[in-house]
Structure 1
Amino acid sequence: MNSKQKIQQVAQACDDKQAKDIVALDMGDVSLVADYFLICHGNNERQVQAIARAIKETMEEMDVTIKRMEGFDQARWILVDLEDIVCHVFHKEERDYYNLERLWGDATKMDLNLESSENDYEL
């Protein structure tokens, strides 16, 4: 499975848990940290944890190793490191404060074709 297929699966897992404003950034030309960033948020700590857990479970089902997961207990900003993809699952307040999309504004936003039409995606 390549990185583009993987990020699509991760985004769908987030969408299934009703994550808000799911954004995927192609980091290839702007950072050596990862090929892609996936950024989304939940409205409360419980939802943030559910989204991160869904990412973990989806990737484990596909035999993708989770390199590291940080911030799960506090559930304000959970980072899920899939090596080539770094997922940032924020609480809404933290997402507004850190504004990673602006920080990494040079990165190209990917088009995510998610099954749900309930969310308003910023692509």
Structure 2
Amino acid sequence: MSKNAAEVLNPGPGTPLGVVNEIINACSDAKGKDILVLDVRKVSDMAQYFVLVSGRSDRQVQGIANKALEALAQHGYHPDSIEGLEEGHWVLCDLGDVVLHVFYEATRQHYDLEGLWFRAGRLQIETQKSGSAIEFKAA
């Protein structure tokens, strides 16, 4: 593989990227905006991936988070903890290897996790036209 070629990552069932895949599909279905996957494996021991998503209102943030949690539960994934769901400004769902952050847009800008985790890799997300298949590439 050339130095400029992106590494294609496997989002198979039961893998952390499989969890990320389910989250992205659910968040997309709930009209989540600016979905970003941070690969924090080389900069943190707390998780492998962070998924960041924005909503336009507190209700939409709650709806996006609930949709993701429902989709994950259908596949047997249950968070270790959930914070902020009642307020709807920043919902954090800790799934062990994957942490989902659903933000109200202004809250996401204020806390700037993208800037805080600037050393983390970013995964390029390519949604396939067939629907739920997602291809991840290390950017």
> Please, what TM-score do these two structures have when normalized by structure 1?
0.90
Unaligned runs of 5+ in 2: 1-13, 130-138
How many residues are matched?
A: 117
Cα deviation code 1:7-40 (max 9, x no counterpart): 0111111111111100001110001111100001
Q: 2:51 aligns with which of 35, 38, 41?
A: 38
RMSD of aligned C-alpha atoms? Answer: 1.3
Amino acid at match of 1:34: A
Flag as ranges the 4+ runs of structure 1 deviating above 3 A.
none
Amino acid at match of 2:59: R
1:113 CA drift (Å): 2.2
1:115 CA drift (Å): 5.0
Distance of 1:22 and 1:104 partners within structure 2:
15
Larger-Rg structure: 2
1:6 CA drift (Å): 1.4
Would the alpha carbon gap of residues 47 and 73 (structure 1) be closer, same or farther in structure 2, given more than 3 Å must change?
A: same
Query: What aligned pairs does 1:37-56 form with structure 2 within 5 A after superposition?
Result: 37-56=50-69
Distance of 2:37 and 2:69 partners within structure 1:
17
- Say if 2:20 is the partner of 1:18: no
Helix, strand or coil: the match of 1:12?
helix
**1:12–1:115: 8 Å Cα contact kept in structure 2?**
no
Distance of 1:114 and 1:75 partners within structure 2:
27
Higher relative contact order (CA 8 A, sep 6+): 1
Unaligned runs of 5+ in 1: 117-122
Query: What aligned pairs does 1:1-123 form with structure 2 within 5 A after superposition?
Result: 1-114=14-127
